Structure 1
Amino acid sequence: MKINMYVNNEKFIAGMTMKDQAELENNNMALHACESTDHVLENRKNLATELHCELDDFVCANQTHSSNFHRVMLDDKGRGANQLNNAIADTDALYTFEPNVLLCSFTADCVPVIFYNEVNGLIGVIHSGWQGTVKEITLKLIEHLKLVEHCDANDLHVQIGAALSQRKFEVDEEVYLRFKALGYADDFMFYKEETHKYHIDNQLIVKRQCELAGIPAGQITIDQTCTYVNPDGFSYRQDKQSGRHLSFIMKKGE
């Protein structure tokens, strides 16, 4: 199974599953976008084996391109793991302090954000498509963690996963103006005269949101894999029937 492994140390394991022709449905991990739920569940079970955990340790949300987030508790374990109808509703970011819980986020061009706090053991995942980015889901969640969970942004480490590259992320003026209204995205957008399209670097705008929330730039890493260009990528823009990557993080138990 192809996995871009981002962190694997004594405390945390985090990564992103990639498209893999050797697996069922090319290693699709999404129950909401699949040919067969059995195939996806088989892929998820294989991932659990790779990560030395159980499928019932997974926690998944019903992602809606919102700016909503949810603190995962131990009784949330298994939600969305085997079926869609018990996934955490209308939520695009999950975080927890609990060990042995695999937080999951699904993407196919959108920006996955994985984060952890070395000091207090907090972990989280964020699904930030262009709508989530203009709604500032990452910035809002980090501000919430600082205010409500008493996290120091200086202790947070962020991994931005594989996503649609700026070269392939073309938008019309309507979407461009929503990014421009953020007030800090101009450096990450350009206009192409030949196509009359704007090109946006969603990964770098999410990185800027992390920095605005106080996370040191040196603690933010970006996976440069373009999900459209790279054969290991699922791209909704390229293929509306595409599967989904699963970005994950788990705090290892004592």
Structure 2
Amino acid sequence: MKINSYSNNEKFIYGLTMKDDTELENNNMALHASDNLEDVLENRRKLAVFLQSGLGDFVCAHQTHSANFYKVTLEDKGKGSKHMDDAIADTDALYTYEPNLVLCSFTADCVPVMFYDEVQGLTGVIHSGWQGTVKEISLKLFEHLQQEENCAPENLHVQIGAALSQEKFEVDEDVYLKFRDLGYADDFMYYNGQTRKYHIDNQQTVKKQCELAGIPAGNISIDRTCTYMSPDGFSYRQDKKSGRHLAFITKRHD
């Protein structure tokens, strides 16, 4: 199973599963984008073995391109792991203090964000498609964590995972205007006069939102793998029937 492992410590384990033609459904991890649910569950079980956990430790949300976030407790253990019906509803970001839970986010071009607070022991994931980015889901969540969970921004570490590159993320004026209206994304956009399309760097815009929340730039890493151009990427823009990557993070018990 292909996995982009991002963590460099034993306490916080996080990464992104990648497209893999040696696995069932090319290692698709999303029940909602599956031809055979049992194949996806088998892929998730293999990931659980890799993480030395169980499928029942996974927590998944029903993602709706919102700016909604949810604090996961032990009562949520296993939600969305085997069935879509019990996934956390209408939510695009999850965070928890609980060890050994595996927080999950699903993407195919959208920006996956994995993060942890090294002092508080908090972990989380964010799904930030362009709609989530213009709704400022990352900025709003990190401000919430500082105000309500007493997280200090200098203790937060953020990994932005593989996503659609600026070269391949071309949009019309309506989407461009939404990014322009943010007031801080101009440096991450350009106009192609030949195609009359705008190109936006969603990853850099998300990184900027993290910085606006006070997180030091040195605490933010970006995987610049393009999900459209890489053979290891699932791309909804390229294939509307695409599978999904799974961004995960878990904290080992002390």
On whether the aligned pair clears a TM of 0.5, the verdict is yes
Q: Is contact 1:8-1:14 (8 Å) kept?
A: no
**Equivalent position of 2:243 in the other structure:** 243
Read off the aligned partner of 1:243 and give its amino acid letter: G
Aligned-pair Cα RMSD in Å: 0.5
Q: Structure 1: how far apart are the matches of 2:42 and 2:2? A: 15
**Which runs of 4 or more aligned residues in structure 1 lie more than 6 Å from their structure 2 counterparts after TM superposition?**
none
- Cα displacement (A) at 1:9: 2.1
Aligned with 2:31: secondary structure?
A: coil
Q: Structure 2: how far apart are the matches of 1:237 and 1:207? A: 22
**Equivalent position of 1:84 in the other structure:** 84
Task: Map residues 169-184 of structure 1 onto 2, 5 A cutoff.
Answer: 169-184=169-184
**Equivalent position of 2:162 in the other structure:** 162
Q: Percent identity?
A: 71
Read off the aligned partner of 1:3 and give its amino acid letter: I
- Cα displacement (A) at 1:11: 1.1
Aligned with 1:133: secondary structure?
A: helix
**Which string of whole-angstrom CA distances, capped at 9 and with x for unpartnered residues, describes residues 24-81 of structure 1?**
0000000000100000000000000011000000000000000000000011000000
**Equivalent position of 2:101 in the other structure:** 101
Task: Map residues 142-157 of structure 1 onto 2, 5 A cutoff.
Answer: 142-157=142-157
Q: Structure 1: how far apart are the matches of 2:183 and 2:79? A: 37
Q: Which runs of 5+ in 2 are unaligned?
A: none
Read off the aligned partner of 1:203 and give its amino acid letter: Q
**Equivalent position of 2:63 in the other structure:** 63
- Cα displacement (A) at 1:116: 0.5
- Cα displacement (A) at 1:8: 4.7
Q: Is contact 1:189-1:200 (8 Å) kept?
A: yes
Instruction: Give the count of matched residue pairs.
Output: 254
Matched, 1:5 2:8: no
Q: Structure 1: how far apart are the matches of 2:114 and 2:106? A: 12
Q: Structure 1: how far apart are the matches of 2:118 and 2:143? A: 18
Aligned with 2:203: secondary structure?
A: helix
Q: Structure 1: how far apart are the matches of 2:68 and 2:24? A: 32
**Equivalent position of 1:193 in the other structure:** 193
**Which string of whole-angstrom CA distances, capped at 9 and with x for unpartnered residues, describes residues 87-144 of structure 1?**
0000000000000000000000000000001111010000000000000000000000
Q: Structure 1: how far apart are the matches of 2:157 and 2:113? A: 10
Q: Structure 1: how far apart are the matches of 2:9 and 2:26? A: 28
**Which string of whole-angstrom CA distances, capped at 9 and with x for unpartnered residues, describes residues 131-187 of structure 1?**
000000000000000000010011000000000000000000000000000000000
Q: Which runs of 5+ in 1 are unaligned?
A: none
Q: Structure 1: how far apart are the matches of 2:70 and 2:120? A: 18
Q: Is contact 1:57-1:102 (8 Å) kept?
A: yes
Q: Structure 1: how far apart are the matches of 2:209 and 2:240? A: 29
- Cα displacement (A) at 1:10: 2.4
After alignment, is 119-128 or 6-15 more displaced? 6-15
**Which string of whole-angstrom CA distances, capped at 9 and with x for unpartnered residues, describes residues 210-241 of structure 1?**
00000000010000100000000000000000
Q: Is contact 1:12-1:250 (8 Å) kept?
A: yes
Aligned with 2:141: secondary structure?
A: helix
Aligned with 1:207: secondary structure?
A: helix
